Structures are given as C-alpha cells and as structure tokens.
Amino acid sequence: MSAKQISVFLENKPGTLKKLTSVLASHSVNIRALSLADTKDFGIVRMLVDDVFDATNVLKEADFIAALTSVLVFEISDETGGLDNLLQSFSDAKINIEYMYAFAGKQGAYMIFRVADTKKAEAALQGKGLHPLSQEDIASV
C-alpha cells in the first residue's frame, strides 16, 4: 500500500517554486506534503498530492520535469517517543531510510519514508503490525 511521491526538478531562481504551486492550485490539485532540497543551481521538490494522475499531467503540460517514486507513509503517534518507536520498527527490520519528511493531516501527523526496496520494506513492516497509508488514504487524511 505504498503511495506515489512526485519529485519535480526546479531551477534555483526566484519565482520557480511559486510557478509550480500556481499551476497545481489552478488545476485544483491539493498538495498534502512537501519537501524542498536545493543545490546551487537546482532544487528538488518532493510532494504528495491528492490526485497523482491529474498532478503529473498538469506538470507535464506546464513543462515541469517530474518523476514518480513509491514511498511509505505511516501515521505517527503524537507523544514523546512516537517517532523513535516507529524508527525502531525500521531498525528491527534492517530497513535503511534514504530520506523522510512529515506532514500534518486533519487527523494527525504522518511520516513519509523513501527506502531502497519499498515492497520488501512494506512486507517487513506489516509483519510488525504497521500498516502504511495507500494513495487513496493520502487524499483524506
């Protein structure tokens, strides 16, 4: 039950990120989570949206370079040690996390994880009683 993350490559100059958000907003695509990492010349926006199909089509039409990546999304308890407990499951299953970021939903907080083998990690974590959100879940949390 992995989710699809859209990664968009942006030139590192004023107004480029605004153009991206304007294109999505004008087509009623809701950004649920976003992370931005930059280098001197380019940035990478990683995001989860409510409608991946519409978002990728809109971005392509607007000449953005985008790629889809499978990620795992888990709800995290809002208590001391919540993240630590979740990361313990990754550690126990010997799953290396390439990167992660978070978002706050209507019903709680969620962590997004990129790992090398999403399907293998998902199976291992489900064996530990963890259940990742699906793409459909992302739109409603």
Burial of 141 (0-12, 13-18, 19+ CB in 10 A): middle
pTM: 0.89
User: What is the Cα–Cα distance from 34 to 103, expressed in whole angstroms?
Assistant: 8
pLDDT digits (tens, 9 = 90+) for 34-85: 999 987 788 999 999 999 999 999 999 999 999 999 999 999 888 899 899 9
Give Cβ neighbours of residue 8 (< 8 Å, ≥ 6 apart).
20, 44, 45, 47, 59, 64, 65, 66
CA proximity to 68, closest of 8, 129, 128:
8
Determine contact, residues 86/76, Cβ cutoff 8 Å. Answer: yes
Determine contact, residues 135/86, Cβ cutoff 8 Å. Answer: no
The reported pLDDT for the residue numbered 22 is: 97
* pLDDT tier, 127 (very low <50, low <70, confident <90, very high otherwise): confident
pLDDT digits (tens, 9 = 90+) for 101-122: 999 888 789 999 999 999 999 9
The reported pLDDT for the residue numbered 9 is: 94
* pLDDT tier, 23 (very low <50, low <70, confident <90, very high otherwise): very high
The reported pLDDT for the residue numbered 105 is: 82
CA proximity to 99, closest of 107, 64, 90, 139:
90
**N-term to C-term CA, the chain:** 15
Structural domains in the chain, sorted by start: 3-69 (3.30.2130.10), 73-135 (3.30.70.260)
State what percent of residues in the chain have pLDDT above 90. Answer: 70
Q: Are strands 109-115 and 3-11 parallel, antiparallel or unpaired?
A: unpaired
Model confidence at 1: pLDDT above 90: no
The reported pLDDT for the residue numbered 42 is: 87
CA proximity to 115, closest of 83, 48, 50, 69:
69
User: What is the Cα–Cα distance from 105 to 95, expressed in whole angstroms?
Assistant: 25
User: What is the Cα–Cα distance from 13 to 26, expressed in whole angstroms?
Assistant: 22
